[in-house]
């Protein structure tokens, strides 16, 4: 998620809490496409714009079919809940079947469609999903536009914590890698 400091915030900032669930908009490309469609463009036009801007690959299936979000969901499940999921443990549905009419209907109903990743621990069972969801406008994830990412974590006794940040672009990806290298160097310097 490039410039969004999710991992350190969840791992260190919420240390000592008991996580209940996490929901997030984890893929900036899919979010850009859905936001562009809300402006009246078709899926194909929005995808072409994302590719032209360098946000989407020539083969965008990892982003638009939810595979990238699924991988990030699996990482969050391991980090926050201490459970390693397999791909078959995560329900996954992408945004390729969303059309402009559906996006405009959501807008008219004061909702927004977002590709939402979720992990929930309930009575010892961990459930993970990646799917387009219609969210009410007052949901923090509904307000995430363009290439932004966000994660909302409910952890006891703190309650809901929302982390929002930029999610795409070469400079941000470079910063994310640099941040990871610094974290690794610190851990090896102070074992």
Q: Is 72 a catalytic residue?
A: yes
Q: Which residues pair with 116 in a beta bridge?
A: 131
* Catalytic option among 26, 69, 72, 80: 72
**For 2, phi and psi rounded to 5 degrees?**
45, -105
- Residue 57 structure tokens: 């690959």
Give the E-state strand segments of 34-105 in sequence order.
Answer: 90-92
Sheet holding 125-136, edge to edge: 90-92, 125-136, 111-122, 18-25, 148-156, 159-166
**For 54, phi and psi rounded to 5 degrees?**
80, 15
Axis-axis angle for helices 28-38, 43-52 (nearest 10): 130
CA angle 129/103/64 to nearest 5° reads 45
Q: Which residues contact 62 (CB under 8 A, 6 or more apart)?
A: 68
Q: Which residues contact 82 (CB under 8 A, 6 or more apart)?
A: none
Closest to 4 measured CA to CA, from 186, 162, 184, 183:
162
What residues are labeled active site?
Answer: 72
């Amino acid at each position: 998620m490039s410039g969004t400091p999710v991992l350190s915030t969840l791992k260190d900032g919420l240390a000592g809490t008991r996580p209940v669930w996490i929901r997030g908009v984890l893929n900036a490309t899919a979010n850009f496409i859905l936001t562009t469609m809300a402006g009246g463009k078709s899926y194909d036009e929005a995808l072409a714009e994302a590719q032209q801007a360098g946000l989407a690959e020539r083969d965008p299936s990892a982003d638009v079919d939810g595979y990238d979000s699924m991988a990030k969901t699996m990482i969050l499940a391991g980090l926050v809940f201490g459970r390693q999921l397999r791909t078959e443990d995560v329900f996954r549905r992408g945004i390729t079947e969303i059309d402009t009419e559906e996006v405009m209907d959501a807008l008219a109903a004061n909702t927004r469609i977002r590709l939402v990743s979720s992990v929930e621990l309930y009575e010892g069972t961990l459930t993970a999903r990646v799917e387009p969801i219609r969210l009410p406008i007052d949901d923090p994830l509904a307000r995430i536009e363009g290439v932004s990412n966000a994660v909302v974590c409910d952890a006891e006794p703190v309650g809901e914590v929302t982390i929002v940040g930029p999610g795409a672009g070469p400079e941000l990806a470079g910063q994310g890698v640099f941040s990871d290298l610094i974290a690794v160097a610190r851990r090896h310097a102070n074992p």
